[in-house]
Amino acid sequence: KPKNARSKRALAKKEPLAHENTKTVLLLRGTTCSSLIQDVLSDINALKRPYSVRFTKKNDLHPFEDASNLEFFSQKNDASLLLFGSHSKKRPHCMTWVRCFGGQVLDMLEVQVVKDTARTLAQFKSEKCKVGLNPLLSFSGTQFASPVSNQHTLAKSMFTDFFRGGESSTVDVEGLQLMINFAAGEDAQDGSPAKIRMRCWRIITKRSGQRVPRIEVEEMGPRIDFSMGRMKEAETGVWTEAMKKPKGVEARRKKNVGTDVVGDKIGRIHLGKQDLSELQTRKVKGLKRSRDGGTEEVADHTSIISAGDADSTSDVEVKRQKFAKFL
C-alpha cells in the first residue's frame, strides 16, 4: 500500500494498461565485450531509436545462471526487452535476447555473431532511413514455420517483438522505407541448427510513368549472421498469462460474419424451410392446373363437317383438323 501520493502515482504508472505503450529495448554489455558486439549493439540501437536505451557501462551479468540483475534493470528502466552482449572464449561474440513480463524474465535466446560475414551500418555508404520508422519484417525459410517449438520459432517471435514499432491505425506509404529480412536454410549435416541471416534494405520509390511507382531496394546494413546457442522457453502458465488480452480491447464479434484466409469479409445467411410449391417460376399455360386439381391434357380433336349443302349428289365428309390450343 502506498504511503503517500507520490508513491501512489508511481505505482499507478506501473499498472497494466488496456493499450500498452511501445516496448522499449535496453541494450547492455558485459565485462568482456568485443568490438564487433559493440558495433552490432550500436547498429541495433540506431534501428530501434527512439524506443531504445543503451548503457555503455560494463555489467557483470550471466543471464542463464542468474537473471535477477536483468530483472532489476527491466523494472528500473521500464523496459520489457533487453539485449545483452558479451564475449568469451567458450562463447565468442555472444548476444542474449531477453523478454520480460511483469518485471520477471519470460524467455531468452542466445545467438553468436559470425565475425567473417558481419558488416556494420557504417560500412555501407548508401543513404540511411529516417529515425522512428516502422520496419517491414519478413521471414524466409521453413524453419520459422515449424509446428514444433525450437530455436528458430523462438527467434521469429523474439525478433518480431524487438523490431516492431508502435501501433498505428493508418499507414503512410512514404513511411515504408525499411525492410528487415531474416532467412534460414536447412540444418547442417552434423545436426547443428541452421544459421539466421539478417539483412536490412531501404525501399526506394521512383517514377514509373504510371500511377503505381517503381519499387527498388538497396541494402543499407547492418549485415549479420547468427548461429544458434542456448535458449530458455517460457513456462506454460506464465506464457498463458502474458498472452491474455483484457476485456474491451477486441472488437465484439459479429454473429455469422467472419474473414477468410485472404482477409476478405464473408457472411453466413440462415434461411428457413422453403415451400417449393410457392416458388415463382416461369408461367407456362400448359402446366396450369385444372379445376379438378390435375394438369390439363392436350388432345387432338377432329370435327367432321358435313358438306351436303355444298354438294347434294355426294355426301362428302370433310374432315378438318382442329388444332389444340393451350389454355
Q: Give me the residues paired with residue 66 across strands.
A: 62
pLDDT recorded at residue 294: 55
Handedness of CA 229, 235, 238, 243 (dihedral sign): positive
pLDDT recorded at residue 298: 45
Over the stretch 221-279, which tens digit does the pLDDT of each residue have? 899 999 999 999 999 999 999 888 877 767 777 888 888 888 888 998 887 787 777 77
Over the stretch 175-205, which tens digit does the pLDDT of each residue have? 888 999 999 988 888 888 899 999 999 999 8
* Residue 43 in grid coordinates: 547498429
pLDDT recorded at residue 126: 86
Contacting residues for 185 by C-beta, under 8 A, at least 6 apart: 141, 143, 194, 195
Alpha-carbon dihedral 34, 37, 41, 43, rounded to 10 degrees? 120
* Residue 243 in grid coordinates: 498472452
* Residue 129 in grid coordinates: 532511413
pLDDT recorded at residue 87: 95
Contacting residues for 217 by C-beta, under 8 A, at least 6 apart: 179, 201, 202, 203, 204
Q: State the DSSP string of 81-134.
A: EEEEEE--SSSTTEEEEEEEETTEEEEEEEEEE-TTT-B-GGG--SPPPPTTPP
Give me the residues of the chain with pLDDT under 70, please.
249, 283-284, 286-327
> How far apart are alpha carbons 152 and 201 in whole angstroms?
22
pLDDT recorded at residue 303: 44
pLDDT recorded at residue 315: 45
> How far apart are alpha carbons 265 and 275 in whole angstroms?
31
